[in-house]
Amino acid sequence: MNIILLGPPGAGKEHSGGADREERKMVQLSTGAMLRAAVAAGTEIGKKADAIMKSGGLVSDDIVIGIINDRIDEPDCQGGFILDGFPRTLPQAAALDKLLQQKGKKLDKVVEIKVDDAALVDRISGRFSCAKCGAGYHDRHKPTKTPGVCDNCGATEFTRRADDNAETVKSRLMAYYRETAPLIGYYFAKEKLQSVDGMAPIDEVTSQINAALG
Ligand code: AMP
């Protein structure tokens, strides 16, 4: 099964898509995570993407389409994939349709995670994750049980995304409403869209996503 998780920054795409995916043999492909890895590794793509990501804008369609085109050919994607953060523009959605068709694959569903606008800035400013296992936390809504120690793996190093600050968040939200929100209508018209309540507790969002996948 191949699906897209659609939703604004802060909707919880990264952390709610996870459950069940191992059982389903699906891999989660986050273009944001791939771009952050490219920035950290100092690759050509990373150099092009760095300043744009820091400003909260969108990296060019060509770059992200190229990344996804290559990535879904890899063996681990053959059981199915969850696209997280891609497509983000109508040209990316059209390119995805085309490349899936060329590869003899299909898009099964698009799950929209709906979240109140007012909650997004609050959710994003305060996010951090374990540097070792990637478990996600929040200063106010989901602190670690023991301060400074990951609940999941016991590590004591944490990371915060460079673009998770109040100023950049506003640009990211603007980019979402200008470029990405039209995809909701695009996939509704294609009869692929299913919506889940992203304001529910994370475990429940995950169960709703799993239920939507059927
Ligand atoms: P995310 O982790 O999905 O919030 O993405 C972080 C940043 O990476 C975004 O603010 C964009 O600058 C860039 N990015 C990630 N995915 C895409 C995409 N599909 N198209 C353009 N830019 C992207």
Q: What is the pLDDT of residues 139-185, one digit of tens each?
A: 998 999 999 999 999 999 999 988 888 888 889 999 999 999 999 99
The string of pLDDT tens digits covering residues 18-67 is: 556 667 778 999 999 999 999 999 999 999 999 999 999 999 999 999 99
Q: CA 20, CA 105: separation in Å to the nearest integer?
A: 21
Whether 17 has a pLDDT exceeding 70, the answer reads no
- For residue 214, pLDDT over 80 is answered with no
Token couple for 46 = 């990373």
CA of 84 to the centre of ligand 1 (A): 9
pTM of the predicted protein model: 0.89
Active site residue 24: no
Q: Quick check: 118 pLDDT over 90?
A: no
What local confidence, expressed as pLDDT, does residue 21 receive? 67
> Active site residue: 21, 88, 109, 123, which one?
88
Give the 3-state secondary structure of residue 85.
Answer: coil
Tell the burial category of 178 from Cβ atoms under 10 Å away from its Cβ (0-12, 13-18, 19+): exposed
Distance CA 200, CA 12 (A): 11
Q: Which of 54, 114, 161, 192 is catalytic?
A: 161
Q: Where are the alpha helices (DSSP H) in the chain?
A: 13-16, 31-41, 44-55, 61-71, 90-102, 117-124, 166-175, 182-189, 202-213
Report the nearest-CA residue for atom 6 of ligand 1.
32
Instruction: Give the separation between CA 164 and CA 119, rounded to whole angstroms.
Output: 14
Question: In the prediction, which pLDDT does 18 show?
Answer: 56
